[in-house]
Structure 1
């Protein structure tokens, strides 16, 4: 198995596109730092209020709003409670020029990692059929499921490698160009403001953001194995990747059964940042649904790949 995985990695590293994807990710991280530094320089020249004055003004604005927060906005009660806690305990919020804010902002780049992983997953099986190299794999005395598993592990480790590059480079850029900021993260639960580590919070955000990528990559891998068509796998996966969550959210406004959709459950960050997409959903429910879909995709991929005859 290790030899199979090593061979798949050798194939991957021999493709120029692999280095192009890694290079684009590095450029995106650097570009985000440049953009934030530019924004910070603009804000610093125009903002003369202290952070205490800013929070007090925000509380006044929130107190005039209707209670209950809508959409992705926190409720006025939550905002006011957290702001008052900061004022009472002298805990300034992390500004735009803090390392932690930069790291949180860069979490959206996991979507870029997802695009790259989907492209690799879509071609790693279908490409063998397109190039005719699948026959060379099949004549070897190795079980088909081992060949497919090695390809999936390669895709998974490739995606994790890109996430690792994103995290490490973001930490380096954040430490060099941004202030340390506060390592305290505040949450509002059951009417009480609680302190937690911002490192643990960011780790959850990065992990939760990766779930959507993992599931769409698995779907692309399944389509590639079942239909042997990389273009189809890329097209379907990217289409669902961009509109699946939006459509599910719209349907969920009217029908409770939408909570059983894959895209209603992949955004686990909603349990950390809110709001819950459909009332009644829990973290345990979403994890179970994700596991069921993952098993379904893998069973389809392995069943079809191991049973279907290789075309001449």
Structure 2
């Protein structure tokens, strides 16, 4: 279960106990006052412990409302199956894109088994599902899947916000197939006239029907064209820790953009100023209400000589 959801529950319990404590003091209930003070102290300790806990695995809660949901009693099976499948596919593709640098035009999603989430609980209070990363390994640091889930929640939120700027920035690094899965997710929600609340490790996001419809329109109107080619570039600079590069083409044009992890690992400082062969992705982005723009991604070094 996401930490934020646990904190919400504990905070709600704390508020209720504080109200009971106030009433006990008002009516002179000494025994009740002692009990509520002890309970309140325990809740404060649990909240502090949870806030300081090192959550390493992915966990997210998806709550739905609107036409597909009957209060907290149930949810249309067809809708639930489709929307969870859309969300999982979005996670799978975002994870593979982040780890591999590129998904390719079609074919199987790489590392799919490494990015699957499990439905571990059904959540009520509208109707929803809790999805967790299940692993036998004890992790010291946050897993790659946890980072991906956090990034996807941020992307979903940016897609629906009235201000387009954050979405426009995020799609620069978005794979074409990830965008398609994002479209499918919002289409499923919008067609069903559903509302949604997403709860992650530290943040939660709420989407009414107008937000979901806006996100559908925005993602459907956005196009990404990708072209990979082998080119010769003079390396002017590369920051491996930030996966950023700057280079000049054979025509003397200065270009810059991001790199894959592979390219960052292949880089060495003696390549600065050298003419090298690289696999370069040129991405044309055509967003809603904005002019088309081009971004570059250095996929790998082919020939360093």
Which interval holds the TM-score relative to the shorter structure?
A: under 0.3
Where relative contact order (Cα < 8 A, 6+ residues apart) is larger, the structure is 1
Considering only CA atoms, is the larger Rg found in Structure 1 or Structure 2?
2
TM-score where L is the length of structure 2: 0.22
Higher normalized helix content (fraction of residues): 1
TM-score by length of 1: 0.22
From the two aligned structures, give the one with the greater strand fraction: 2
